[in-house]
Structure 1
Amino acid sequence: MTTSTTATHADKKTELTVDDITVIDSKLLKRAVGAAALGNTMEWFDFGVYSYLAVIIGKVFFPDASSTAQLIASFGTFAAAFLVRPIGGMVFGPLGDRFGRQKVLAFTMIMMSVGTFCIGLIPDYESIGIMAPILLLVARLVQGFSTGGEYGGAATFIAEYSTDKRRGFMGSFLEFGTLGGYLLGATLVTAMIALLPAQAMLDWGWRIPFFLAAPLGLFGLYIRLKLEETPAFKDHMDKQDALEHARPRLGLLPMLNKYKKQLLKCIGLVLVFNVSNYMLTSYMPSYLTGVLGLSELTGLLLVMVVMFVMMPLTLLWGHWTDRIGRRPVIGLGALGLVLFAIPCFMLIGSGNMLAVFGGLVVLGVLHTCFSGTMPATLPALFVTDIRYSALAIGFNLSVSLFGGTTPLVTAWLVDTTQNVMMPAYYMMGAGAIGLITVFTLRETARKPLSGSSPAVATHAEAHKLIDKLRKQRHKKQPVPQMSAR
């Protein structure tokens, strides 16, 4: 069981006791992390499939366009889903803060699965004409709407279930699931391209990965329905129930106004995180084949190998941020983009396979500085009663404006300017914004979440924490002075 008791006193200045500390059951924590990461795996399975099938999807749904226009149209449909993500965040975030994280995450899992599965059912352009790309767009909008409540909820869920000392490591499993889902989708598409004739892939093969969303979604839904609500949320609701007059919930606009500084920090962090992410995972396969002229299979395999390298590094950074802090790691990644984006793209553009791989690996390593830290850093920006709402809105607004549009914007920039270095300049700008944002952050590693009680792994650790706090308090107390009469 997860032991979580709240203070019976209303005075916040009263000394903290063992009963005020949340003790997290390790088995429930592992289940919570796995269930939350599974949703991200499902989401990025779709992204991996769509990114690696972008050229084929362009041919199926936009057959009359040129190859470049097909790719841009395919990425345009991909990017359109990001326009509704903030709307999804505005809907699912407040629901998660009101009714619980677990219930909303179960519902978003259903919507994601349905949207992905339906893409595989859509007839091609030759069969139903203009309705084909319209239905593709509708399915992507359903995916985008559901995803608007997914990442913010999953990050909140893991952060609120984790102990203060290991929140970075546990949170990094969310992005481990991201890379795993992407890799699963990419591996499946690559294997099919290698095994199936090109015409068979174009006729029906591309549909198979989307059909797999149904069993994956059902399994994820089953796991999430078995979870308990997070200790932090239950404590918050218990405190609300204990008050004679519960604090009124902030409306959307008052919340945005009250927490605008935290939201701006969230947007800045998500910008550098997701520009790096979508550049590497969504745009790079098409860049390698369509712009640099590598074979399709070679480009796919190179990015997949880099994903393998990134997976353990993401967990390693998550572990180390619990020791050295979140800010140094994020700052290192942002500075690295500013300094090494151009050299990396020069290596990638050289045509030498070893140099191409080296450039991709450096970009991948820099990205893990973000993927290993953001799931723990972002939820810590906000207090418990608005955490899901604020994170869902801030995250999705930034992703919609800057992250998800990265493949479309960079493809357009390269085509317009005929400068293959445009992606590097784009990443440098994102890195500069990330650096500026890092300087405004306070360190949150090994500290309780805002508005939540300390969270530890054992009752013994709770007693040690109380003893430590008492010693610190006694050291800070001033020596009593005799009053002069």
Structure 2
Amino acid sequence: MAYASPDATTRSRPMTSEEKKVILASSAGTIFEWYDFYLYGSLAAIIGAQFFTAFPESTRNVFALLAFAAGFLVRPFGALVFGALGDLIGRKYTFLATILIMGLSTFLVGLLPGYASWGIAAPIILIVLRMLQGLALGGEYGGAAVYVAEHAPQGQRGYFTSFIQTTATLGLLLSLVVILLVTSYVNANYPAVPQLGLDGQPLLDPTGAQVMLDPFKAWGWRIPFLGSVFLLLISLYIRLQMNESPAFKKMKEEGAQSKAPLKEAFGNWKNGKIALIALFGLTAGQAVVWYSGQFYALFFIQNVIKVDQFSANVFVAWSLILGTAGFIFFGSLSDRIGRKPIILGGCALAAITYMWVFPLLTSVANPALHAAQQIPVTVTAAPEDCSFQFNPVGTAQFNNSCDIVKATLSKSSVNSDTVDAPAGTVASVRVGETVVQSYDANALTGEALAAEKARFTTEINAALTAAGYPLVAADNTTVAKADHFFDIFNAQNIKIVLILTYLIVLVTMVYGPIAAQLVELYPTRIRYSGLSLPYHIGNGWFGGLLPATAFAISAQTGNIYAGLWYAIVIAVMTVIIGALFVPGDSHKKNIFADDGV
């Protein structure tokens, strides 16, 4: 049954003040929801140390990123559930449900005891809470995009929906700013805390002294999570003031609603192929560019380049401040030249430049590390001795001599080549002219194992230090550092911020116009369901798995930049499929027509 919006013929008029108020209210609530979701991403390394204490550091980093990805993996299921609800009962009440689930889950993360207190139950509950956040976010984005688009004047959908696109980045920025403020206050006003082992006793360093934790890393990281309850109350108030979309109300009055929106959206080839085109020709590439430019960049700076957490957050926060206007610019530009060339152009630029940008970032942010990486490092090992060290369930043990070498080199951000050796050969590593033999932890026990581990650690650290690797952070005077939020006005820090801003500009190219593009692919009766699933599969699976996958690939190949090929290959795939199948004139379409594109 076809229908017309109550003012479909007057959509080109300027928006009323009431419509603008509704859209701003929707955007503000969405910012708070993204803030809740991204707190974990911003604190992944610290949370990993709290909840995955039982695992080695290299494995712990992968687990921390996978717990982050868990929230993304379930987003498509949230899109199905809340997308159907949005098309059946309306946009407003779906918003209320998603914000409640998100806010309560975030608050509970702040209360959850760590591994030392609750054992394996702690990381399990953490992942469950992350999944609840993902379900909520799966229903949030589609509703926000549809809600704004259905209020926007004809010919300005790209511009008005681009404000929704800023909410993810502004939510991340808000989380970073809160973390920076809390970190500064807690560390300046509270004493360091002894780090406890799994037995509940203080850990000791090789000299016998207690290992101390900054108070923020020990307990202060919980404050941003607990404080989100205030944002939850504000968000609920905002959502309760919102009015239902006029298009949805008119459709409901005329009885034009879909009785089975999921079946109609995905159960026939006419609409099903649109979902496939949207996924592979738009959102998959958009997702990997988005997560590479924001989250993997943050993780890369902290864990690979070895910039301290506070400084890394300052640099990324400034890049977000400088680059966020790009969402509005490219969203508005897409109203004039179309969404397709901008989105695919951003994917293409990312694929072409990533292998240049990230090494440049290393050379600027940590010159000593970059210089040391020019020294040849070669691992000699039997191929069957080298495992792919990606262990999402925590059951595998990487004790082969090759695995021990590669895990050690990866932890120190060392680039290496691998040379095959005969079967049964104990792996060794050559750093410059120094050769260090590894050991097979499977063949040793007790004191013999401890002695070999100590011998290998001493020898490899000495070889890397001699080659110029800055293994002791306090002794590295070349690494970038920001003492406070405005400490960016020197040549090194400004260059870092500009490099990161370039990555954010690519993010704004692919993400600014995407909401309008997806809205324009579907008729009103199935719009919420139709656009939500490909968006959240693309961003939840292709994008959400990027940090953990890239880290594991880099560790396996011995190249800290190799993980970028994951993003590059998917971005190129999207450029090809999008160029062939995505319509180029959707920005001219009347989205209130029931035939879609």
Of 363, 370, 374 in structure 1, the residue corresponding to residue 503 of structure 2 is 363
**Structure 1 equivalent of residue 243 of structure 2:** 228
**Equivalent residue number for residue 134 of structure 2:** 144
CA apart distance, 1:110: 0.8
Deviation at 1:270, TM superposition (A): 1.4
- Does 1:285 pair with 2:285? no
**Which residue among 397, 404, 415 is the counterpart of 2:544?**
404
Identity of aligned residues (%): 30
Superposed, which structure 2 residues align to 1:9-28 within 5 Å? 21=10, 25-28=15-18
Offset of residue 253 of structure 1: 7.2
Q: Give the counterpart of 1:70 among 50, 53, 60.
A: 60
How many residue pairs get aligned? The number is 438
| Secondary structure of the structure 2 residue equivalent to 1:45 | helix
Name the CA distance, whole Å, in 2 between partners of 1:275 and 1:310: 18
**Are 2:464 and 1:451 equivalent residues in the alignment?**
no
User: What is the CA distance between 1:87 and its match in structure 2?
Assistant: 1.5
The residue type equivalent to 1:396 in the other structure is H
Work out which of the residue numbers 298, 317, 322 in structure 1 matches 2:330: 317
| Equivalent position of 1:209 in the other structure | 224
Secondary structure at the residue paired with 1:445? helix
Residues 418-448 of structure 1: per-residue CA shift (max 9 Å, x gap):
2122243223223212212432222222432
Deviations 1:437-481 (A, max 9, x none): 432222222432153699xxxxxxxxxxxxxxxxxxxxxxxxxxx
Aligned partner of residue 204 in structure 1, secondary structure? helix
The change in CA–CA distance for 1:7 and 1:184 in structure 2 (over 3 A counts) is: closer
**Following the alignment from structure 1 to structure 2, what is the Cα–Cα distance between the partners of residues 147 and 218?**
17
Relative distance call for 1:250 and 1:107 in structure 2 (3 A) is closer
Task: State the 1:247 CA deviation.
Answer: 6.8
1:264 has 2:405 as partner: no
Alpha-carbon separation, structure 2, partners of 1:199 and 1:179: 28
Q: How does 1:56-455 map to 2 (within 5 A)?
A: 56-197=46-187, 198-240=213-255, 249-252=260-263, 255-258=266-269, 259-268=271-280, 269-352=282-365, 353=492, 355-439=495-579, 440-442=581-583, 443-449=585-591, 451=593
| Structure 1 position 112, deviation (Å) | 0.7
CA distance in 1, matches of 2:124, 2:96: 28
Provide closer, same or farther for how the CA distance between residues 264 and 254 of structure 1 changes in structure 2, counting only shifts above 3 A: closer
Structure 1: distance between partners of 2:47 and 2:10: 52
- Whichever residue aligns with residue 95 of structure 1, its letter is L
Label 1:74 to 1:411 Cα distance change in 2 as closer, same or farther (>3 A): same
| Separation in 1, partners of 2:47, 2:97 | 28
Residue 60 of structure 1, CA deviation: 0.9
TM-score by length of 2: 0.69
1:388-413 Cα deviation digits (max 9, x unpaired)? 01112221222232011111111211
Shift of the 369–191 alpha-carbon distance from structure 1 to 2, 3 Å rule, reads: same
Q: Which moved more, 1:26-35 or 1:320-329?
A: 26-35
Query: Contact 2:520–2:589 (CA<8 Å) still a contact in 1?
Result: no
Distance 1:167 1:287 in 2: 35
1:25: Cα distance to partner?
A: 4.8
Please give the alpha-carbon distance, in whole angstroms, between the structure 1 residues aligned to 2:4 and 2:173: 45
The alpha carbon displacement at 1:19 in A equals 8.1
Q: Is the 8 A contact 1:292 1:349 kept in 2?
A: yes
Q: Which amino acid aligns with 1:228?
A: N
Q: 2:279 corresponds to which letter in structure 1?
A: I
Q: CA deviation at 1:163?
A: 1.0
How far did residue 33 of structure 1 move? 1.8
For 1:72, give the aligned amino acid: V
Greater shift, 17-26 or 291-300, is seen at 17-26
Say what the alpha-carbon RMSD is for the aligned residues. 2.5
Question: 1:265: Cα distance to partner?
Answer: 2.0
Please say if residues 330 and 438 of structure 1, whose CA atoms lie closer than 8 Å, have aligned partners that are also in contact.
no
Q: Structure 2: where are the runs of 5+ without partners?
A: 188-212, 366-491
**Partners of 1:48 and 1:282 within 8 A in 2:** no
Q: Which residue of structure 1 lines up, in the alignment, with residue 24 of structure 2?
A: 34
Residues 453/160 of structure 1: CA separation in 2 closer, same or farther (3 Å cut)? farther
| Counterpart-to-counterpart distance in 1, 2:66 and 2:291 | 14
* Equivalent in the alignment of 1:472: none
- Counterpart residue identity of residue 241, structure 2: K
The alignment partner of 1:294 has SS state of coil
Contact 1:232/1:452 (<8 A) preserved: no
Q: Matches of 2:8 and 2:498 in 1, distance apart? A: 53
Q: SS in structure 2 opposite 1:134?
A: helix
Calculate the TM-score normalised by the size of structure 1. 0.84
Q: Distance in 2 between matches of 1:124 and 1:388?
A: 38
Gapped regions of structure 1 (runs ≥ 5) = 1-5, 9-16, 455-485
Partner of 1:163, secondary structure, is coil
